[in-house]
């Protein structure tokens, strides 16, 4: 079955027109042939009956005087002067052949092929011959008392007329179809022109170009549709502009929030390192002095235990300071910061973490991209430690001249990405939401693939601006 859904509206119109015109032309030809065949058959029958009656009336006198020579000439004249007469013959009342028009011998089967009742004016029998259908018309001579006259009428002229008429009708139908196609081609183009215009504008809108408008000036339904469509496009353009402005404002605000967050992290890290760290260091020195000068047994004063507790607190503050804002990221760049962080992560959590770096650029990345990548890797590894129960983690960093790619893969418990994504949109998973937002603000994309009981893979891709040498 032909599926027209994939073809254009114009093609469907033209195909429908050709089919309708062809069907009408074919039905017209068939109906005309039927009518003409019936009409010509009736005319041929009447003409054959008339010729046979004339032959029978003229043959009556010749049979009475037994002038068979003139009877033979009469039959000959009948066949010569009438093209449709294939043969003629006369038989006596006893069935004896008196005269015929056959030059090669009379076929005996014709004597019994058509035997009319003497009370009937005529009798017609349809005979199938090598030349086609022949109507054998029998008319009694002098009410059958002198014999019967037979005339064989051929349908050759009828077939010739029908063939000629059919050929003429085919040519006329073809001309009408061609003319109809030409006219419909013109009108179909005019009819589908508004549709093509609407398709053009719709295609432009789907590509993000909301400046296009449908240029249809007609007052019909297409014109009204174009007016409504343009109004809808204007509304969508205004709505899109408003949404774009809001998104730009949100992005700008979010960038400021992240920058402020990083600055606040840096300030807190500096204060922890400088002020709190120095205070705790001084406290340790004081405790050590007291322990050395403690009267009696120093263990009785528990000063050494207190000093070790302060030392552990100082180490923890140092670790928090580094996680809040690693100075190595500002001083030595992304790769060194990742190596340091993953080394500490491996030592503290006893998790096997592999870092593979492929770097093709000589210059450092922008500060924003370095911070983005560092925070995303940090969040991913933190989630792996908290929720994934992973034993092996692989971090692959690839930096080309065009793109920075980070792949983080673990063998943890995994999760259903769809369910977590819905919680992320709802604001319940702020860590993942922050990863998505940071990637978007850096002009990149973040993709998470996870299978329960198999593991999780995070893909980060950030396009990089070309370096002008």
If asked whether residues 22 and 49 sit together in one domain, one would say yes
The CATH number for 58's domain is 3.30.450.20
In this structure, are residues 460 and 396 in contact, taking their beta carbons and an 8 Å threshold?
Answer: no
Does 308 fall in a domain? yes
Selection from 388, 394, 378 nearest residue 414 by Cα: 388
> What is the rounded distance in angstroms from the CA atom of residue 332 to the CA atom of residue 353?
21
Asked if residues 41 and 69 have their Cβ atoms less than 8 Å apart, the reply is: no
Q: Are residue 231 and residue 142 in the same domain, yes or no?
A: no
User: How many structural domains compose the chain?
Assistant: 3
Same domain, 154 and 52: yes
Residue 434 included in any domain: yes
Single pTM value for the model: 0.46
Residue 194 within a domain: no
- Three-state SS at 211: coil
> Cβ–Cβ contacts within 10 Å for residue 253, how many?
10
Beta bridge mates, 147: 141
Residue 435: which of 381, 359, 354, 355 has the closest Cα? 381
Task: Specify the pLDDT at position 442.
Answer: 82
Residue 197 lies in a domain: no
> 156 and 26 share a domain?
yes
Q: What does the pLDDT look like over 375-390, one tens digit per residue?
A: 889 888 888 888 888 8
CA end-to-end distance (rounded Å), the chain: 62
Question: Residue 264 has what pLDDT?
Answer: 66
Q: What stretches of 207-302 show up as alpha helix (H) in DSSP?
A: 221-271, 277-292, 298-301
pLDDT, position 413: 86
Same domain for 303 and 226: yes
Q: Kindly state whether residue 418 falls inside one of the protein's structural domains.
A: yes
- Selection from 221, 84, 87 nearest residue 150 by Cα: 87
- pLDDT of 468 reads 47
Shared domain for 67 and 136, answered yes or no, is yes
Judge if 447 and 392 occupy the same domain.
Answer: yes
- Residues 341 and 300 grouped into a single domain: no
For residue 41, what are the contacts with CB-CB under 8 A and spacing of at least 6? Answer: 155, 158
* pLDDT of 406: 93
The residue among 301, 325, 349 that closes a domain is: 325
What are the tens digits of pLDDT across the range 135-190?
Answer: 899 999 888 888 899 999 887 777 777 777 778 877 877 887 788 778 777 776 77
Q: For residues 183 and 176, is the Cβ–Cβ distance under 8 A?
A: no
Alpha carbon of residue 107 to chain centroid: 72
Q: Do 258 and 371 fall within a single domain?
A: no
Does residue 362 fall inside a structural domain? yes
Domain coverage including residue 469 = 334-469
Q: CATH number, domain at 384? A: 3.30.565.10
In-domain check, residue 177: no
Residue 303 sits in the same domain as residue 340: no
For residues 259 and 312, membership in a common domain is answered with yes
Show which of 267, 293, 325 is a domain's final residue. Answer: 325
Residues of the chain with pLDDT under 70: 1-10, 188, 191-192, 217, 220, 222, 247-284, 286-305, 307, 310, 314-315, 317-326, 419-431, 467-469
In angstroms, what CA-CA distances link 380 with 156, 334, 342, 394, 436? 97, 16, 12, 11, 12
Residues 16 and 111 in one domain: yes
The answer to whether position 184 is within a domain reads no
């Amino acid at each position: 079955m032909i599926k027209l859904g994939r073809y254009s509206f114009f093609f469907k119109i033209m195909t429908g027109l050709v089919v309708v015109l062809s069907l009408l032309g074919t039905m017209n030809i068939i109906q005309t042939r039927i009518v003409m065949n019936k009409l010509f058959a009736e005319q041929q029958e009447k003409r054959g009956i008339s010729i046979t009656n004339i032959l029978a009336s003229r043959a009556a006198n010749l049979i009475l005087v037994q002038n068979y020579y003139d009877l033979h000439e009469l039959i000959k004249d009948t066949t010569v002067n009438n093209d449709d007469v294939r043969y003629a013959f006369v038989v006596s009342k006893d069935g004896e052949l008196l005269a015929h028009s056959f030059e090669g011998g009379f076929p005996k089967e014709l004597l019994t092929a058509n035997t009319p009742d003497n009370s009937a004016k005529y009798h017609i029998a349809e005979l199938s011959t090598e030349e086609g259908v022949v109507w054998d018309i029998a008319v009694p001579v002098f009410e059958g008392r002198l014999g019967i006259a037979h005339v064989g009428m051929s349908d050759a002229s009828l077939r010739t007329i029908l063939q000629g008429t059919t050929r003429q009708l085919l040519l006329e139908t073809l001309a009408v179809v061609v003319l109809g196609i030409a006219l419909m081609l013109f009108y179909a183009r005019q009819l589908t022109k508004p549709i093509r215009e609407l398709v053009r504008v719709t295609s432009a809108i789907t590509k993000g170009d909301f400046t296009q408008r449908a240029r249809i000036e007609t007052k019909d339904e297409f014109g009204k549709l174009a007016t409504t469509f343009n109004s809808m496009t204007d509304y969508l353009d205004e709505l899109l502009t408003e949404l774009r402005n809001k998104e730009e404002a949100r992005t700008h605000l979010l960038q400021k929030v992240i920058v402020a967050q990083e600055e606040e992290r840096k300030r807190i890290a500096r204060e922890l390192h400088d002020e709190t760290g120095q205070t705790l260091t001084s406290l340790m020195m004081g405790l050590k002095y007291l322990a050395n000068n403690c009267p009696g047994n120093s263990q009785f004063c528990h000063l050494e235990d207190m000093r070790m507790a302060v030392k552990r607190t100082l180490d923890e503050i140092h670790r928090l300071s580094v996680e809040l804002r690693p100075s190595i990221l500002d001083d030595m760049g992304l790769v060194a910061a990742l190596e340091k962080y993953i080394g500490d992560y491996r030592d503290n959590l006893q998790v096997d973490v592999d870092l593979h770096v492929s770097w093709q650029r000589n210059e450092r990345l922008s500060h924003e991209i370095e911070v983005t990548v560092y925070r995303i890797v940090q969040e991913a590894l933190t989630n792996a430690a908290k929720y994934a129960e992973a034993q092996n983690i692989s971090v692959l960093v690839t930096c080309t001249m065009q793109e920075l790619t980070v792949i983080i893969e673990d063998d943890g418990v995994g999760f259903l990405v769809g369910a977590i994504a819905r919680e992320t949109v709802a604001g319940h998973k702020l860590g993942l939401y922050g990863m998505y937002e940071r990637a978007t603000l850096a002009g990149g994309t973040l993709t998470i693939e996870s299978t329960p009981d198999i593991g999780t893979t995070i893909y980060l891709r950030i396009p990089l601006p070309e370096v002008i040498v």
